[in-house]
Structures are given as C-alpha cells and as structure tokens.
Structure 1
Amino acid sequence: MPATDAAYSRYVALGDSQTEGMGDGDDTTGLRGFADRLAEHLARENPGLAYANLAVRGRLAAQIHAEQLAPALALRPDLATVVVGVNDLLRPRFDADRVAGHLEAMFSALTAQGAHVATLTFPDPARITPLARPLNSRVTALNQRIREAARRHGVTVAETSHHPVVTDPRLWSPDRLHASPLGHQRIAAALAHALNPPGADETWTHPLPPPTTPTPTGWRAATGELRWAADFLGPWLTRRLRGRSSGDGRTAKRPQLVPAGVPSRPVPRPHDEEG
C-alpha cells in the first residue's frame, strides 16, 4: 500500500526475539533492537509517543497470536509492528499457510481497531550462512504470504528481502539469526522509510563500505562454519530435542505503554534457562 506520514501517539510491537532486540544489547544492560530504535525515530516528530514491546524470544506465530494480540488490542495502538515467522521456519513441520493464518488474524484485528500496521519480508538465509540453504524455499513462501495478507488488510510492508545489503555479515550477530546493532538500525530505518515519517529515506538500502578484512575462503570459511555449528546450531538443536525454548519463563520487556525515550528494563533471566 502507499506509504503514510501520519502522526502516531501509541506504538505497540509484537513478535519474537528480533523484535525483543536480541543482538542489540544484552540481558544485563537491557536489549534495544529495531522496535526501540523505530520508536525513538518516530518520537522525534511525535514527542508524546508512548511505546510498548510485547515480543518474547522463541515464540512461534501461534504463540504470538495467542499471547500478544489481546494485550496489544487492549493498549489501543495507532501503530503496530507485527514481525513473526522465523522461529516457525526453523521447525521441521513448517506450514507457510498456518503461519500466514496467524499473521493475517493479527493484521485483521489490529487494523479493524484502527491501527496502522507495518511488517517486513525476510532475506535469503543462504546468503547469511550456507548451511541454511534448505530454508530458502520456506522463506520465499512465507514472504509471498506476508505480501498477500498485507495487501488484503492495508498493512505497510518494508521489503527488506530485495536489497543485497541485508545479508552483509556485519548486519548480523555471531549467531547469524539475530541482527547486530547495525542490523537493527537498518531494520528500523527500513520500517521508517516504509511508514514515511519526516527524515526517513532510502539510505538504509545502501551498501556498507568495503570490509577492512578479507572475507574468509577455503578452509578458513569451512572452519568458521564448523565453529558456528558448534557454538550456536548445536545448543539450539539440543533445546529443540528437549522440548525447550530460549523464551521459556520469560515475559515481555515493555508490557505497558511508556514514553518512547525511556529505556526498556532488563528482563530477569530464568534460573534454569540454557544458552
């Protein structure tokens, strides 16, 4: 749909770890993330903007729908971001239509109440880590359903999937699943560009300067892949086999509307959480 430059007073973010802000800060000092950064950008032109972030890491689309939609509606946002689906993509029984059904239900409920809703598409994971190549068709299917659902409900889509810069390794944290601080900055800028407030532009699509160190190739690249698998993929698979999630025992970092300039408080880490 056409971008808008409307003013906002209440912004609510729904989603999983990316919206929570993992990769941008930590659980001791507090997570920032693209939603915090977007709220700060919008608050420059909307000084009274209040912002809530209901996202919790590890949540699937069905859980976000069941746990976050009703609290979001109760806050009566005039702007909401809904970014879901990555955790579903990683599950063996991924069903793009089922994920899209939950996404569309959230789009429908929020827009029916008068909120302007924004979302985004996801990049090709094989360009971030070669081991993720089997997920490419899933991402393509999910992105297409995101676009279709957004079209039906007048939802703004930030098309991050189209631009080569989004797979630059410097935009991703070492786990290659969560954005780095620079990546979260670019995501926020992409959403701002789609929403079209004053000061937003397309510079988020521009490539980064050439890296100061060469990209590893050959055995160095293979060693890096093995190290990533041991440090991140292995623990993730272990949690899945045990039926556990990184979000077990966690709650939203910002469940109530608070002035956008007020930092989010760190969420206590459950004592029994792994990795």
Structure 2
Amino acid sequence: MEMDANCTSFVAVGDSFTEGMSDGLPDGSYRGWADLLAALPQPSAGGTPTSPLSPGFRYADLAVRGKLIGQIADEQCGPAAAMGADLVTLVGGLNDALRPQCDVERVCAQFEEAAGRPAKSCGQLVLMRSPGRQGPVLERFRPRMEQLFARIDEVAARHGAVIVDLYASRAPADPRLWADDRLHLNSEGHRRVAEAVRQALGLAAEADWDAPLPATAPPGRFARRAADLRFAREHLVPWMARRLTGRSSGDGRPAKRPELLPYEG
C-alpha cells in the first residue's frame, strides 16, 4: 500500500503507546512514534519529499495515556472522523487486555466500532498489531492479545486499512527498546515504530526498523535485582494503586495536540 502523494494531514488516535510516555519534552509532554512520523518527509504531489514542517502539513495527536478502547471510541474517534484527515492511525485495546478481568469479545467489538468511525472519512486508516516486551507478562496475556489482533486483521480487511505488524517482528520484543516502566517503548523503540509505519505506507526505507540490536552481555544478578526493585517502587506499586482505586493515569488529561495544526517538529 502506498501513501497518497497528496497527504497533508495526519491524526493519531490511541493510548499511551501513541502518546509516548518515555521521551519527555520541556513542556511536560512526550514525543512518541506519531510525532516522529509527522516529522518525517512526506511525498509531495510531484513525487518528491516535502517537509511536514511546511504550512501545508497539519498534524493532530488525540492519544491519551491509560485510555481503554471504549473510551478511545467515544472520546477520540468522533473528533478524528470529523477532521477528515488524509491519514489516521488507531492503536488501542491492550490496556483492556492487560487488566485482570477482560471480556475480550467485547473489546474486539469496541475496537471494530472505533475503527469504523474514522474509516468513513479519512483517506487512509492505519491499524497496528502492537509489540510485546519479552517476559512473563507477554506470555500470560498472549491469548487475549492474539484474539484482539485477529479481529484487527478482519477490521483492516473490511476498511482497506494498512496493518503494521509489530507483534510478529523480532526487534520490538527486545527489552532494550522499552522504558524503565517495562510497559512503554523508549526513544529508540518509538523511532523504529515510526519507521515501520512509514514503510507500511509504501514510503522509501530510511533504516531497517526490525534489525536486531547488537548482542551484549546480560546484566549480572545484583544489577537485575536492583532494576527489579526500582521498577516495583517507581512503576508497579503506583500502577497497582490506580487499579485498586479505579483511577487511570489519563483521568482529566487532555490530548496534547487536539487540533489539526502545522507541526513545529
């Protein structure tokens, strides 16, 4: 699938995976793969790259951390559809799948509803089979994820959407592409996702986004234990507290780019 040569607008929809959550900026926001994709050269009508930093290219990022797929459908997909953008990316559903109690069939139905809204008005819809970090968490929730991804494939076929399959790739499972919270990608991880989306849209490759990272010696036992303790203190305990109190990291938080505006990079 090749990206429309006249693409001048891009809207990202989703949760923390799209918002970023690892590469902090001075204004308190985060730089995620969607921001990096918006800053990559896009093809012009003449077939040569033109920078999205020009006034003709507009970008909105409606993704908010912690959102479940039903919330994404209700809060983001309507506005995204109304924008009528040339390109819309939708990534969501894993926050639901990672909860202790999850009705996967209901999540699949909500994803189908979410995708259907922007699909009617956008030029090209992009869906994603998200990556999973190697470890016991992925193995525990793998059946749920694969059930969701199978429905995403069906939805993509129905709407002519592009699928970016990170789940089946090699590199994104490497723990070195994930932030200290072990839930979100780090800067290099986001760079690779942006490149994967770019190539799925038919644009010329800038790099091999799925290339394995160089082999390194594994950390020693004491280093692993220190990292585990730091992870539990700084990330796991706060996450459990939110689950027990019914709170979300995205409660009351607005989208960082709620309108289609020229992107400053």
Q: TM-score, normalised by structure 2?
A: 0.88
Residue 203 (str. 1) matches residue 201 (str. 2) = no
Q: For the structure 1 residues 151 and 201, does the alpha-carbon distance in structure 2 shift closer, same or farther, using more than 3 Å as the test?
A: farther
Paired residue secondary structure (1:25) = coil
Of 230, 235, 240 in structure 2, the residue corresponding to residue 232 of structure 1 is 235
Residue in 1 that maps onto 2:145:
139
User: 1:210 corresponds to which letter in structure 2?
Assistant: A
% of aligned pairs identical? 41
Residue in 2 that maps onto 1:15:
14
User: 1:155 corresponds to which letter in structure 2?
Assistant: A
User: 2:235 corresponds to which letter in structure 1?
Assistant: F
Deviations 1:15-45 (A, max 9, x none): 0111112112247453111001111114463
Paired residue secondary structure (2:251) = coil
Q: For the structure 1 residues 156 and 42, does the alpha-carbon distance in structure 2 shift closer, same or farther, using more than 3 Å as the test?
A: farther
Residue in 2 that maps onto 1:187:
193
Deviations 1:51-71 (A, max 9, x none): 000111111000000001111
Residue in 1 that maps onto 2:170:
164
Q: How much is the aligned-residue C-alpha RMSD, in angstroms?
A: 2.0
Of 229, 244, 265 in structure 1, the residue corresponding to residue 247 of structure 2 is 244
Paired residue secondary structure (2:40) = helix
User: 2:73 corresponds to which letter in structure 1?
Assistant: H
> How far did residue 252 of structure 1 move?
0.5
- Give yes or no for contact 1:79–1:117 (8 Å, CA) kept in 2: yes
Paired residue secondary structure (2:259) = strand
| Paired residues for 1:78-93 under 5 Å | 78-93=86-101
Residue 258 (str. 1) matches residue 261 (str. 2) = yes
Aligned counterparts of 1:256 and 1:138: Cα–Cα separation in 2: 33
Deviations 1:121-151 (A, max 9, x none): 12344x1x33453112222222222112111
User: 1:25 corresponds to which letter in structure 2?
Assistant: G
Gaps of 5+ in 2: 44-48
- Give yes or no for contact 2:15–2:91 (8 Å, CA) kept in 1: yes
> How far did residue 5 of structure 1 move?
3.0
> How far did residue 10 of structure 1 move?
1.1
User: 2:205 corresponds to which letter in structure 1?
Assistant: A
Residue in 2 that maps onto 1:111:
119
User: 1:123 corresponds to which letter in structure 2?
Assistant: P
User: 1:6 corresponds to which letter in structure 2?
Assistant: D
Residue in 2 that maps onto 1:5:
3
Gaps of 5+ in 1: 264-275
Q: For the structure 1 residues 202 and 146, does the alpha-carbon distance in structure 2 shift closer, same or farther, using more than 3 Å as the test?
A: farther
User: 2:39 corresponds to which letter in structure 1?
Assistant: E
Deviations 1:135-193 (A, max 9, x none): 12222222222112111211101111112211122211100111101000011111111
Aligned counterparts of 2:149 and 2:50: Cα–Cα separation in 1: 31
> How far did residue 99 of structure 1 move?
1.9
User: 2:136 corresponds to which letter in structure 1?
Assistant: P
Residue 152 (str. 1) matches residue 158 (str. 2) = yes
User: 2:248 corresponds to which letter in structure 1?
Assistant: S
Q: TM-score, normalised by structure 1?
A: 0.85
User: 1:204 corresponds to which letter in structure 2?
Assistant: W
| Paired residues for 1:69-80 under 5 Å | 69-80=77-88
